[in-house]
Amino acid sequence: MAYVDVFVVPVPKENRAAYKKLAETASAVFKEHGALQVVECWGDDLPESELGVSFKSVMRAKQPDGVVFSWVLWPSKEARDEGNERVMDDPRMQPSDDMPFDGERLIYGGFQVLVEK
Please check whether residue 57 lies inside any domain of the structure: yes
Higher pLDDT: 59 or 27? It is 27
Residue 64 lies in a domain: yes
pLDDT of residue 117: 87
**100 closest CA partner among 24, 5, 4:** 24
pLDDT level of residue 63 (50, 70, 90 thresholds):
confident
Residue 18 within a domain: yes
pLDDT at 28 over 80: yes
Contact by Cβ (8 Å): 6, 111? yes
CATH number, residue 73:
3.30.70.100
What does the pLDDT read at residue 84?
Answer: 96
Q: What is the reported pLDDT for 83?
A: 98
How does pLDDT run across 69-95, given as a tens digit for each residue?
A: 999 999 999 999 999 999 999 999 988
**Is 117 a domain residue?**
no
Domain carrying residue 9: 3-112
Q: Left if phi > 0, otherwise alpha if psi is -120 to 50, otherwise beta: which for 61?
A: beta
Instruction: Return the SS3 of 72.
Output: strand
Q: DSSP 3-state assignment of 84?
A: helix
First-to-final CA distance of the chain: 13
Query: Is 25 part of any domain?
Result: yes
Residue 104 C-beta-side C-alpha neighbours within 13 Å:
1
**Does residue 36 form part of some domain?**
yes
Residue 35 belongs to a domain: yes
Specify the higher pLDDT residue, 31 or 44.
Answer: 31
| pLDDT cut 90: percent of the chain above it | 68
Residues 99/23, Cβ–Cβ less than 8 Å: no
Q: How many domains does the chain have?
A: 1
